[in-house]
Amino acid sequence: MKKILLLSTGGTIACAEGSDGLTPALTGESLLSYTKEVQDICQIDAVQILNIDSTNMHPEYWINIAEYIEKNYQSYDGFVITHGTDTMAYTSAALFYIIQNSNKPIVITGAQKPIIFKETDAKRNLVNAIQFACNGVGGVFIVFDGKVICGSRAEKLRTKSYNAFESINYPYLASIEDNEIKYNGQVSIYKKEQELTFYKSLCTNIFLLKLTPATDPDILDYLSDKYLGIIIESYGSGGIPFEDKKNFLAKLKMLDQAGKIVVIKTQVLLEGTDLSKYEVGQKALKYPVIPAYDMSTEAIVTKLMWVLGQTKDKEKAKQMFLTPIRNDMIIEKLA
């Protein structure tokens, strides 16, 4: 029998009614009492490492979760993390970069409704996550609503529906129907290729700026004083405004001279950034900015944290960011 370690962090799946609304209350052991149908295929231990609404998740907790996995890595065949849905995609992407080249499954799941409710998606999601963790495919994944999503490609699109998460610009790795896991060809990318590494350092000194037509370029003067890395979420294919009072190009030069790392992404959810297509993008490329290509917002934020946690050298940081890790980005001209 496979040995699985359940790491419980709270979230809706573990919620009960409190005086001010739903709040995490159930332990990991309590959650396991709803999974009797899989307990004959594996031995499951539970550890309660947090009990929070995932709105309260922050990077120090990501490091703590990774440390629990590292400490117990040799003793278990797979790991399941129960987590709130609000920041699940951030945690998934963070662990994707913090824990690299795992040949054991690290599976994150949760629910849109608490497991104690009569009508809930929690039981199915938790059972599916345990089933996938028993299957020996290495890497970091989200399992939710019968879908297996690469850890760096998930994004929450719905606040109420059971199909809360989508895989952004990348296929689902597998589906789970009637307790059967059906893989597609992409799952082969998770075969072990390099040495398992647990990274210990993240740089959280970054900021995500979403442009609107009213955004004043002078905001970047303030951000330059406060942050080492700045992600600019622009429009369309990723162009940067440059006319009249909305000229951001001069600010890109200022940020470069100040030694800042600048990543440019699109606000559009699907199909990615292509700075080479329009004048507004090509002008930006004359500065040492980093295009985000087809990465999700959560992957961009956490990868930049990981990169700057390893180096502050601008050229090395750009090279690391633009080096694909298990297909977290596909670098090509996007039509």
Return the structure tokens found at 311. 């180096």
Nearest to 133 by CA among 247, 11, 234, 42: 42
Backbone phi and psi for residue 36, each to the nearest 5 degrees, phi listed first = -60, -25
The single residue listed with the structure tokens 């703590």 is 64
Burial, 162: exposed, middle or buried (Cβ in 10 Å; 0-12, 13-18, 19+)? Answer: middle
Contact 271, 237 (CB under 8 A): no
The CA-based angle 301-281-257, given to 5 degrees, is 65
9, 12, 82, 87: which is the annotated catalytic residue? 12
Torsion angle in degrees (nearest 10) through CA of 231, 232, 235, 239: -110
Q: Is 12 a catalytic residue?
A: yes
**CA distance to 45, 136, 177, 199, per residue, from 76 (Å):** 9, 11, 25, 20
Q: Crossing angle, helix 297-310 and helix 88-98, to 10 degrees?
A: 40
| 314-321 and 297-310 helices, crossing angle to 10° | 140
CB 12 within 8 A of CB 110: yes
Kindly list the catalytic residues.
12
